[in-house]
Amino acid sequence: MSVFRLPTVDCRSCHSGRKSVIVRNWPSARQLRSSLRSLRGVLLPITVDDVGPVIPVVVIDEASRAGDVALALADGGIYFAEVTLRTDAGLGAIAAIADLNIPGFTVGAGTVLSRDDLERSLAAGAQFIVSPGFDDDLVSRALDAGVAVLPGVATATEVQRAIAAGVDTVKFFPADRLGGLPTIAALAA
């Protein structure tokens, strides 16, 4: 069964909705590309000034499909993706995308929870790391390796820890459960 989901963003409620691409067992890259092309009107009018950078989150069950996903994203004008480690295919998918060398395309690893996850993600070709929470050791090791790291934060204390650690970009997570843009604005004040 094929599943493609892009949760809706309610533009009137401050763009706090989550955006993710979940792909499971697509029969063909053509169908995926067609679906992404049809979403251009949804994705592209949302600018960095509106919501900040939007990173598609890819959860994939078959690493052999990862190249098709990356090519479809690039064909749709999206040149980066966070491939989560929530499935056994995550690391293989990162490697498959990195091996394609798509000009301008950046692949990262998401749901990075441990030092081992970090090391395996970097070995697979991840160019950035996303974690759901702030882990001092993980952030330090990623920065030492020269890779961008986006740790998850939910409180002012975690934001301060990220700043002290030298991180300039964080993932507010889970944004929809923590008040969305008003909470982000309060934390940034």
Which residues belong to the active site? 82, 171
Q: Which residue has the tokens 């069950």?
A: 61
Query: Mapped to the 3 state alphabet, what secondary structure does 19-55 carry?
Result: CCEEEECCCCHHHHHHHHHHCHHHHCCCCHHHHCCCC
User: What's 76's DSSP letter?
Assistant: T
The three-point CA angle 69-71-72 to 5° equals 65
